[in-house]
Structure 1
């Protein structure tokens, strides 16, 4: 088992500060951010020194994750179905996080993919495929709902128009019901 990364040994507050600092600087200026981080670590009284390659790797992982979330938001923002968006957002976040961790693991282990990581990749793909099926079902349900609501609105308009016309023409209730059933196919 490889030793823990130095960034994993620093307090969570410092990792959050590092993530915010990298975002604020556009994921660049790694040397300056590394110096500032090491200054904060020393101020905390810790005897750890983090290298710029570790900060650079962390920056790349954050940037990759941010881009994955941004892409998911763009893709999902075009959808009108709020529930579908929520489902896909959660799923995309899970997949993006898993993919970032897997990429880091493969990079750290000289490109070697462990069987359990391969199984995780398979699960991610399975989840994505299940999500696609769910998305198609939600879209089809939404299409059916829109068609049904449109049909019901048209029927209501036709019913109103029929009643107004029947009243103007002086037709009785029996004739109105007959017109509803025979001509328009509306419910009595």
Structure 2
């Protein structure tokens, strides 16, 4: 198994700082950020040096992730709940296809699949499945709310018609009371 990436070995607070520094600088100024990171590592007493290539890859991954989230947010904001559910199904299929292709590529190259990559893929599928279940629940709740509002509107309309009938004298007050009890809104 290959050695872990140096960025994976630095303390979480320095990774958080790196993420914030890159975002603040628009994912640019890689050399300056790398120098600052290495100074911070020395100040912490760590004898590790991170190269600008590693920071550049990290910056690109963060930028790509931010763009993907932005695109997904734009797509989802324009959809209703039912369309979001369909999108989740498509995303799960795409992730499953990507996983199969990734495993096939590793097998053909007679290489090894990084456990970190496999865990990330598994976590992504798990999170997507969980959010898909949540979307289904939201859809069911929305249907229930619409049905309840329709029932309440119908009851209000029928009650108003009964009251109008009593006021006109076409419905006996006792018959209206009995009708309200029978219809469940007495």
> What's the TM-score once normalised by structure 2's chain length?
0.63
- 1:3-22 CA distance string (max 9 Å, x none): 22222232322211111000
In 2 relative to 1, CA 74–112 (structure 1 residues): closer, same or farther, beyond 3 Å?
A: farther
1:149 aligns with 2:183: no
Q: Displacement, 1:146?
A: 0.6
Say if 2:34 and 2:52, in contact at 8 Å, map to a contact too: yes
Q: 1:111 to 1:146 in 2, by over 3 A?
A: farther
State the Cα distance separating 1:142 from its structure 2 match: 1.2
Flag the 1:140–1:3 CA change in 2: closer, same or farther, 3 A: same
Cα-Cα RMSD: 4.2
Post-superposition offset of 1:23: 0.7
Greater relative contact order, per chain length (Cα 8 Å cut-off, separation 6+): 2
CA pair 11-178 structure 1, distance change in 2 beyond 3 A: closer
Aligned to 2:60: 60
- Unaligned residue ranges in structure 1 (runs of 5+): none
| 2:36 pairs with 1:29 | no
Pick closer, same or farther for the CA change 1:132–1:4 going to 2, 3 Å: closer
Q: How many residue pairs align between the two structures? A: 164
Q: After superposition, where does 1:42-53 map in structure 2 within 5 Å?
A: 42-53=42-53
Question: Take 2:10 and 2:179, find their aligned partners in 1: how far apart are those partners?
Answer: 80
Distance 1:118 1:111, change over 3 A: farther
Query: In structure 2, the residue corresponding to 1:47 is in which secondary structure?
Result: coil
**Structure 2 regions of 5+ residues with no counterpart?**
none
1: distance between equivalents of 2:110 and 2:61?
16
Aligned counterpart, 2:165: 165
Give CA deviations for 1:103-160 in whole Å, capped at 9, x if unaligned: 9xx9xxx895639766974785476457546534531441232123122223223203
Residue in structure 2 matched with residue 114 of structure 1 by the alignment: 113
> Does residue 176 of structure 1 match 2:176?
yes
Distance 1:111 1:151, change over 3 A: farther
1:69–1:111 Cα change, 3 Å = farther
